[in-house]
Amino acid sequence: MSFLEASLEIVTMESAQAEVLKTKAELMQPDELELAREISRQLYLALEPFFPAAGIAAPQIGIGKAVFIFSWNRDPKNFEVVINPSFIPVGEEKVEEWESCFSAILKTGVRHSAKIARYEKIQVKYMNQEGVMIEKILEGFAAKVFQHEYDHLQGCVNITRPDAEVKSFNTDAEYKTFMIEVKKQDAKRYTSS
């Protein structure tokens, strides 16, 4: 068993490992591509029980490295591996929408969502799992998810952002009903990356 296989439980803000969520992730070095691939496999396995899902970052499984996976439409077939990402906005337009985060679902049963203004269109740059540098434009839901996962690499959970409007739910039923509506709104903004 590799050291990563023990990390499949998602780290929440109340976990013993919560400090990793508040710490900027380390960039992957050129000689760490195989490690980045292993991290991406572990991210997929950690997220699999929650499919369909939009993405997850390495700090969310206790690994402080700059790696995440995301899907432009929550379909597992469309997950992309992102290593050492950066982005710049394309224009000033922002869209304010609700988003959820696996690290903001607490064992006490309380679940949180955050309404955050994110850039509608961004130019991204990152390395994929083959070591190829990717540069492209993302917009809509894909841009939202990329920015959400990027925040994790910067040591930020969405509900801790100073600009976040936070909504809390005490029951699964309340939360699930709310998220059905959020996902309907998100689906209107799916744009293939």
Instruction: Cite the active site residues.
Output: 149
Q: Please name the residues in contact with 171: beta carbons below 8 A apart, sequence gap of 6 or more.
A: 109
Contact 58, 8 (CB under 8 A): no
User: Residue 157's closest CA among 106, 100, 117?
Assistant: 100
Q: What's the distance, CA 60 to chain centroid?
A: 9
CA pair distance 17, 65, nearest whole angstrom: 14
